[in-house]
């Protein structure tokens, strides 16, 4: 049995970790911390857990966390890197759902997150936790940086093309038009997130620059092995008036070789052994509701004109885009069956 600690159990990714881990046959939640709610019964904050979980939130006590086998940080950026080294030294595995262990480029990290990195050596040893593409490194890692939700859709949407031995697409002028539900902004009070500001409204944000952009670029460089190849990538996120869900539409230009390739078959073969990536039949339209509450990511391909490929990717931003993928990574790190505890079917309607 894996003893689990969760730092920051009151946010959306925290409660999603709790929900999923309670269904995991090999995991036991031992400790939940909250800076503001210490002493409060978890079920008093989240009534859905009444009769299921009899734990109270605790203060962050590093010595108590050292008694766990793995600690998830469902916290704001900058928290995990303050404590990760102490936990690793004690033999505890760390999975961070924030950005502390995503970007290897320290200058980019400081630019986009407004802070210096507190454990750069540990960062270099960490694994980027995109489960399907970095499985071997995750397996042997002590620290995993869970990917951002948008970057997950972009990488899995493009990986079969970037890993092909043939040049199928132009790396220039890739466009990512992405949409997310409001839960992606976290569980906090803010004017821009209240009901009256979002209902019957649809808007782009971060158009001049979004912190997931450098993560996407660095990750695509690593997948393709082409440094600097994605400097012209355009990424524009949008806020959709729904609670959870994410849909990314990716536009790429095909080379002559790409136009002559059966891309549907390429994607199907690339992901044929991946339980949580569903390449849908040609002409399908992925919907966010088909993955609501589930760890599945669905992909569909369109070729409206010979030179243009449109890739549509849908996922639940709180599950495959965050907590579900974090548990998938935990399973890999502990040598368990990768889908353990993650077989929930999407909620419909």
Q: Which residue has the tokens 């949008």?
A: 238
Q: Are 245 and 287 in contact (CB under 8 A)?
A: no
What CA–CA distance (Å, rounded) separates 311 from 159? 11
What CA–CA distance (Å, rounded) separates 46 from 270? 40
What CA–CA distance (Å, rounded) separates 28 from 42? 15
User: Which class for 191: exposed (0-12), middle (13-18), buried (19 or more C-beta within 10 A)?
Assistant: exposed
Q: In the structure encoding, which two tokens stand for residue 3, read together?
A: 């003893």
Catalytic residue among 68, 149, 168, 176: 149
What CA–CA distance (Å, rounded) separates 156 from 279? 11
Backbone phi and psi for residue 300, each to the nearest 5 degrees, phi listed first: -135, 150
Does 68 qualify as catalytic in the annotation?
no
What CA–CA distance (Å, rounded) separates 250 from 234? 10
Backbone phi and psi for residue 144, each to the nearest 5 degrees, phi listed first: -125, 130
The DSSP string of 285-327 is ---GGGGTTSS-EEEEEEEEETTEEEEEEEE-TTIIIIIHHHH
Peptide bond into 16 cis (omega under 30): no
Packing angle, helices 212-224 and 106-113, rounded to 10: 160
Sign of CA dihedral 194, 195, 201, 202: positive
Annotated catalytic residues are 149
């Amino acid at each position: 049995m894996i003893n689990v600690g969760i730092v920051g159990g009151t946010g959306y990714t925290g409660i999603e970790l709790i929900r999923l881990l309670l269904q995991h046959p090999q995991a036991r939640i031992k400790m939940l911390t909250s800076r503001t709610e210490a002493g409060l019964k978890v079920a008093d904050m989240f009534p859905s857990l009444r009769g299921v979980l009899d734990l109270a939130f605790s203060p962050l006590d590093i010595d108590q966390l050292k008694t766990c086998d793995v600690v998830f940080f469902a916290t704001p950026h900058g928290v995990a890197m303050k404590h990760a080294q102490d936990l690793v030294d004690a033999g505890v595995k760390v999975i961070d759902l924030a950005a502390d262990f995503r970007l290897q480029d320290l200058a980019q990290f400081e630019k986009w997150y407004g802070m210096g990195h507190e454990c750069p050596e540990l960062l270099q040893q960490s694994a980027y936790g995109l489960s399907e593409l970095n499985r071997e490194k995750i397996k042997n890692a002590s620290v995993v940086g869970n990917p951002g939700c948008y970057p997950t859709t972009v990488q899995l949407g493009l990986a079969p093309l970037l890993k092909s031995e043939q040049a199928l697409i132009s790396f220039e002028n890739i466009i990512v038009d992405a949409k997310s539900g409001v839960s992606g902004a976290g569980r906090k009070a803010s004017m821009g997130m209240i009901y009256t500001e979002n209902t019957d409204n649809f808007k782009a944000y971060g158009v001049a620059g979004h912190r997931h952009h450098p993560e996407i670029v660095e990750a695509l460089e690593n997948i393709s092995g082409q440094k600097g190849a994605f400097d012209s990538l355009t990424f524009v996120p949008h806020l959709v008036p729904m609670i959870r869900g994410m849909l990314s539409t990716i536009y790429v230009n095909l080379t002559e070789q790409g136009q002559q390739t059966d891309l549907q078959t390429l994607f199907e073969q690339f992901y044929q052994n991946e339980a949580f990536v569903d390449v849908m039949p040609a002409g399908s339209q992925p919907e966010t509701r088909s993955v609501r509450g589930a760890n599945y990511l669905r992909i569909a391909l369109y070729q409206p004109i010979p030179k243009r490929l449109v890739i549509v990717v849908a996922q639940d931003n709180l599950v495959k885009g965050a907590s579900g993928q974090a548990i998938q990574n935990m399973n890999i790190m502990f040598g368990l069956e990768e889908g353990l505890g993650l077989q929930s079917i999407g909620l419909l309607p």
